[in-house]
Amino acid sequence: MSVSSKSSGITSNRWFKPVAVTAGALVVALILVLVAQWLRTLQPVQQFLTDYPGHSAIPEGTPTGFPAWLGWQHFLNMFFIVLIIRSGWQVRTTTRPAANWTRNNKGFIKTKNPPTKISLDLWFHLTLDALWVLNGIIFIVLLFATGQWLRIVPTNWDVFPNAVSAGLQYASLNWPVENGWNNYNSLQLLTYFVTVFIAAPLAIITGIRMSGAWPKKAAINKYYPIELARKIHFPVMIYFVAFVIVHVTLVLATGALNNLNHMYASNNDYSWWGFGIFAASIVFTAAAWFLARPLFLRPIASLMGKLSR
């Protein structure tokens, strides 16, 4: 076999798997839509959708609308999550880092043992993690201080059948009526609850366990080994990737202008302000994605530690 034939075979194999996976996913999605549409023709299912339209009643005193701070928090969370996923994937797949970093042991953080040398990619990932956690703390404090937590925490058991109803409506492409300014549908509510109060804490506690800051001889290590943290941390990252994809898709597909105004302009109209702010945030995040490379990271990392090969 000639070199060109081998090269052609390798290229074909490289493209075959993603194409096959994409085609398989489309077939599964089509079957799901057809099954959901068939289910909606059944009288018991129609009665179920009538009894559970897809959203629960909100508790008395639940605030209406989105304050400006929530818009900023939404942007910062999106910004950090995108870069955390990028840097986390680099940490997982890079075999020869462009540089290594060792923390200065003379500043605010001092330890008895010398700091551990880590890759520049891991330094960037941990730095983003720290900023995301700080932003998350501010978010949680404001969430409970303003009563916005009532919008994303289940307070009634009927949220579960309503979530099934909303899922069936989405799957059949006859989507539930959107009224996010006042009340999320139950599937949204449960998804946001899982993201904020389950997935995010899991990402944090497993990330800390895997970091060099975790004490190597701590008694808890016997019950919480680093291998367990790794097995949890990666699926959590996959969850966040899936959440971002589905979230953005539904935001754009279920009334883009109105949804973007909710999230970015804190109003409930169909003007282009929210879209403009969203577009600017995408450009800013894309620029950060481009600049997140050793050429630009080295000068920043050198302010907090020593770089080496």
- Tens-place pLDDT, residues 168-204: 999 998 888 777 888 899 999 999 999 999 999 999 9
Longest distance between any two alpha carbons in the chain, whole Å: 74
**pTM of the entire predicted model:** 0.86
Give pLDDT, residue 145: 94
What's the whole-number average pLDDT of the chain?
Answer: 87
Closest by Cα among 254, 78, 260 to 166: 254
Give pLDDT, residue 196: 95
- Summarize pLDDT for 70-107 with one digit per residue, the tens: 999 999 999 999 999 999 888 888 888 888 888 887 76
Closest by Cα among 80, 169, 74 to 124: 80
Give pLDDT, residue 57: 87
* Cα end-to-end span (Å), the chain: 41
Give pLDDT, residue 124: 92
For residue 17, pLDDT over 80 is answered with no
Q: How far is CA 285 from the centre of its chain?
A: 14
What's the pLDDT band for 303 if we cut at 50, 70, 90? confident
For residue 158, pLDDT over 70 is answered with yes
Give pLDDT, residue 19: 80
Give pLDDT, residue 38: 94
- Summarize pLDDT for 249-288 with one digit per residue, the tens: 888 888 889 999 998 988 988 889 999 999 999 999 999 9
Give pLDDT, residue 32: 92
Average of per-residue pLDDT across 14-28? 80
Give pLDDT, residue 1: 52
| Order of all β-strands in the sheet with 305-308 | 118-119, 100-103, 305-308
Give pLDDT, residue 254: 86
Residue 38's CB is within 10 A of a number of other CB atoms, namely 11
> What are 118's strand-pairing partners?
101
Give pLDDT, residue 6: 52
What secondary structure letter does DSSP report for 67?
A: -
What's the pLDDT band for 65 if we cut at 50, 70, 90? confident
